[in-house]
Amino acid sequence: MNILISNDDGVSAAGLGVMCDAVKGLGEITVVAPESEQSASSHAITIATPIRAARRPLDGGVCAYSVTGTPADCVKLAVREILGGKPDLVLSGVNLGSNTGISVMYSGTVSAAAEGAIMGIPGAAVSLATYENPFWETAAEAAKIIAATIIRQGLPPGVMLNVNVPNVPPAQIKGYAITKMGQSRFVEVFDRRVNPRGDVYYWLHGELTVLGEAAGTDIQALEQGYVSVTPLGIDRTRHDMLAHLEQWSWHE
């Protein structure tokens, strides 16, 4: 069992080491992760600048490479150059911060696993719902269970699991909830600042606002203390709209 691990928080992130330790008993691990933080890089790839990869030993003797690119670059480079073929499983994370609702669209963590799904490799993205005081042992336990279950059950080509873990001690996890992607959006805030030379610049941040029915969503499962498991696909076609649009009259 060859397991490829990547992330979007960068090769130095604590959560990456947590993921490696969690699944090291399940197979041969190779880490290919971004050299710098790539959070919110979504499924970007690097085509206008060169990509460099360097060996970077991690704790526990894990074979690791840091890459001057995005999470999607890392998975592509791993398969085509570093591993020279497809691994059996792609894992991404453990990300610091949840990836529920609309965050799925922006997440580099999700996209590393999605790149695997595009290539027909089963995989999962694992995110821990906090930015401070992480209960890493809870995320580690969930990551191991998710990985072992995917290995046992398999996944169809083009499908990945988006996993979100509540930031509580392991004993407080209520179970595993199979969920759908919740409806939410960011209300953007641009923090306007002025540098010493008088130039205006901005920091983008925002508040996640939950919309729509909460029942059965990743957002609700997290709130209720369940590990949320959402199957995600690659095809974004709204199949329910196809017949409807066929009825339209297409003219000027």
Closest alpha carbon to 39 in 3, 79, 75, 93: 93
Only one of the segments 16-24, 36-44, 167-175, 198-206 lies at the binding site for Mn ion (rule: CB under 5 A); that segment is 36-44
Contact 8, 38 (CB under 8 A): yes
- Alpha helices in the chain, H assignment, sequence order: 14-23, 71-77, 103-106, 108-118, 136-153, 218-223, 239-246
Contacts of 153 (CB under 8 A, 6+ apart): none
**In the complex, what is the shortest distance from the CB of residue 157 to Mn ion, in angstroms, rounded to a whole number?**
26
**In the complex, what is the shortest distance from the CB of residue 13 to Mn ion, in angstroms, rounded to a whole number?**
8
Q: Is 8 in the site for Mn ion (CB under 5 A)?
A: yes
**In the complex, what is the shortest distance from the CB of residue 152 to Mn ion, in angstroms, rounded to a whole number?**
28
Q: How far apart are CA 59 and CA 64, in angstroms?
A: 10
- In the complex with Mn ion, the residue whose CB is nearer, 30 or 39, is 39
Q: Which residue is nearest to Mn ion (CB)?
A: 39
Q: How far apart are CA 220 and CA 98, in angstroms?
A: 12
- In the complex with Mn ion, the residue whose CB is nearer, 44 or 151, is 44
- In the complex with Mn ion, the residue whose CB is nearer, 7 or 220, is 7
Question: Binding-site residue total for Mn ion (CB under 5 A)?
Answer: 4
**In the complex, what is the shortest distance from the CB of residue 226 to Mn ion, in angstroms, rounded to a whole number?**
22
Q: Is 112 in the site for Mn ion (CB under 5 A)?
A: no
**In the complex, what is the shortest distance from the CB of residue 109 to Mn ion, in angstroms, rounded to a whole number?**
5
**In the complex, what is the shortest distance from the CB of residue 136 to Mn ion, in angstroms, rounded to a whole number?**
15
Q: Is 95 in the site for Mn ion (CB under 5 A)?
A: yes
Only one of the segments 31-39, 136-144, 150-158, 182-190 lies at the binding site for Mn ion (rule: CB under 5 A); that segment is 31-39
**What is the residue-wise DSSP string for 7-39?**
-SS-TT-HHHHHHHHHHGGGSEEEEEEESS--T
Only one of the segments 33-41, 54-62, 63-71, 212-220 lies at the binding site for Mn ion (rule: CB under 5 A); that segment is 33-41
**In the complex, what is the shortest distance from the CB of residue 244 to Mn ion, in angstroms, rounded to a whole number?**
37
Residue that is written with structure tokens 């941040």 in the block: 205
Q: How many residues does the chain have?
A: 252
Task: Considering only residues 134 through 173, tell me which ones interact with Mn ion, judged by CB under 5 A.
Answer: none
Q: Is 9 in the site for Mn ion (CB under 5 A)?
A: yes
Contact 101, 206 (CB under 8 A): no
Q: How far apart are CA 8 and CA 110, in angstroms?
A: 9
Where on the chain is the footprint of Mn ion (CB under 5 A)? Answer: 8-9, 39, 95
